[in-house]
Structure 1
Amino acid sequence: MREDLDASSEFNSLTLLYFLNRWRKPMASVLVLALVASFVFSSPWFIKPMFKSVVIMYPVSTSGISKVLLNEANTPQQDVMEFGAEEQTEQMIQILNSNLIRDKVISKYDLMKHYGIEKSSRRALTRLYDEYTANIEFRRTENMAIKITVYDADPVVAANIANDISMLYDSTKTFMQHERAQQAYHIVESEYLKLQSEIKAMEDSLTELRKLGVYDYETQSEMMNPSNPSSS
């Protein structure tokens, strides 16, 4: 039985060697073609290499410096220079993802043309925004920082966009805060004007009473009240 197994194993080995020897040239040709194809299709002529640029930003706490320095309550003092917590980090991501920053970057670098998108093509804006989202991302790190990552076929463009976004953050945040302050101002102004109108109406009523000879309103109103015992 053992001799039969040895003979079978030897036969299989010889068969394999015979097969490899017979088909060595076609197999070698296929291997060479596969290597050439992998080199060609992975070259820059078919796949553009993407360069990555990274900027790290740390949000600062929004607590006012005067509030920290003039803290009269018996509460733990806050560090004036401390970085922001989770709330500030999330706010920062929202601002970085805002249409204001996106549209400024798209306009400055003419990304529609840069990404090879025809303006007259169907869904051109959708494709542009998809490319922007795919190539520019904002992530929160473990240290509550924001990591801005930009991918582009041009390393200089990638670096410039990343730096510009980091610089646009402050001006965009200031603009948004100004807009909210303006809205709050208009609400307060509207309430103030409403109150002023009510006060004027009351003053007009008092003026009419003075014309009728009523000056000491409380005393005279009590005297004129029939139910008041002192008036009898």
Structure 2
Amino acid sequence: MNTEPSSRPQLSGKLLGWLASGLCVVCLAVYAVNGPWFVKPIYQSESLIFVPLTILSKQIEQQGIGFASDREIDAHIQILESGLMRDSLIQRFSLTKAYGIDTKNPGGQSRLHRILAAHTKIRKTQFGSVSIRVDDTDPARAALMANAIVELGNLIKEDLLLANRKGALDYAQTLYDSKAADVANLEQRIDSVTGLPGGLEAATRNRAAKLQTIYGTELQELAGRKNHLEREQRSFETELPKAYVISSAIPDYEPVSPRRLLMVLAAAAIYLFLMAVIIIIMRDVRLISTKD
């Protein structure tokens, strides 16, 4: 009768010892497994930009400091997430070697693009800016890539719009040349009518008057097309506005993954929960066996 009360504290103390030992082992194991010996740490760098207005007339209205609309911001983000961007990053930073992927193998190129897309996170913030985050095992490379995305985005956008801008200029030049030729032909017709020897007959005078009226209208049209051509010429010669960099990326040597402390705490919580369940089950089994 006297041994039963003393045996329970001894059993509880032994159990607590086992629990503490197991907890230490689990925490140390999780901490070690998530260390740099087994898992390469991931570092993150971020650039913040404002997308500028691309339309020249809007830039002039806002004195060259206008920010883009939501539609233009979304279009710029599409450029930053494009295959052209990923190809440029792969070439500039030799990512085939850095990620250990042979693009000559079937599916190697697409796999490299998927990995790079997973390492870059581009989103529009609630304040209208664009956040560019890059994850990499090298903190310096992560910062360089984030800044390179900003730079390459400006270059790709300029290249994409160059053909359209050149096409608009060529079309304006064609319209002007066509109207200039019409005006020159009309001038020749007027000269041929008014340059007849002797006095002009009534029919000829009426014809000359009509030609002069048409000539005035054509000159106005020619002047309008000339103004349009000059605007397109200025627009083509004007450099496209570049993204406003709010914050350039800098290397951050504090890894964002794996979060070793968080993993250890989660493992400890799971371990204690499982041990509590096991202890409850063992006590219930012991009570049932005692009653029997």
Q: How would you bin the TM-score normalised by the shorter chain?
A: 0.5 to 0.7
Cα distance in 1 for partners of 2:64, 2:168 equals 27
What are the within-5 Å matches in structure 2 for residues 60-209 of structure 1?
A: 60-65=52-57, 69=60, 78=62, 80-181=64-165, 188=171
Q: Are the structure 2 counterparts of residues 110 and 80 from structure 1 closer, same or farther at C-alpha, using a change threshold of 3 Å?
A: closer
Q: Which residue of 1 aligns with 2:35?
A: 43
Q: Which residue of 2 aligns with 1:209?
A: none
AA of the residue aligned to 1:128: L
Cα deviation, 1:90-112, whole Å, max 9, x if unaligned, reads: 11101111222210101111112
Cα distance in 2 for partners of 1:16, 1:60 equals 75
User: What is the deviation of 1:120?
Assistant: 4.7
Cα distance in 2 for partners of 1:21, 1:182 equals 85
Cα distance in 2 for partners of 1:157, 1:138 equals 17
AA of the residue aligned to 1:179: A
Q: Are the structure 2 counterparts of residues 121 and 25 from structure 1 closer, same or farther at C-alpha, using a change threshold of 3 Å?
A: farther
Give 3-state SS (helix, strand or coil) of 2:48's partner: strand
RMSD: 3.2
Q: Which residue of 2 aligns with 1:17?
A: 9
AA of the residue aligned to 1:152: D
User: What is the deviation of 1:62?
Assistant: 2.4
Q: Are the structure 2 counterparts of residues 20 and 160 from structure 1 closer, same or farther at C-alpha, using a change threshold of 3 Å?
A: same
User: What is the deviation of 1:29?
Assistant: 3.9
Cα distance in 1 for partners of 2:68, 2:102 equals 42
TM-score, normalised relative to structure 2: 0.52
Contact 2:59–2:66 (8 Å) recurs in 1: no
User: What is the deviation of 1:42?
Assistant: 1.2
Give 3-state SS (helix, strand or coil) of 1:137's partner: strand
5+ residue gaps in structure 2? 183-292
Cα distance in 2 for partners of 1:17, 1:179 equals 85
Cα distance in 1 for partners of 2:75, 2:89 equals 20
TM-score, normalised relative to structure 1: 0.64
User: What is the deviation of 1:140?
Assistant: 0.3
Q: How many residues align?
A: 176
Q: Are the structure 2 counterparts of residues 152 and 68 from structure 1 closer, same or farther at C-alpha, using a change threshold of 3 Å?
A: closer
1:58 to 36, 46, 50: 50
1:30 to 19, 22, 26: 22
Cα deviation, 1:48-78, whole Å, max 9, x if unaligned, reads: 111111011111122325x665xxxxxxx64
Give 3-state SS (helix, strand or coil) of 1:106's partner: helix
Contact 2:53–2:59 (8 Å) recurs in 1: no
Higher relative contact order (CA 8 A, sep 6+): 2
Cα distance in 1 for partners of 2:147, 2:44 equals 12
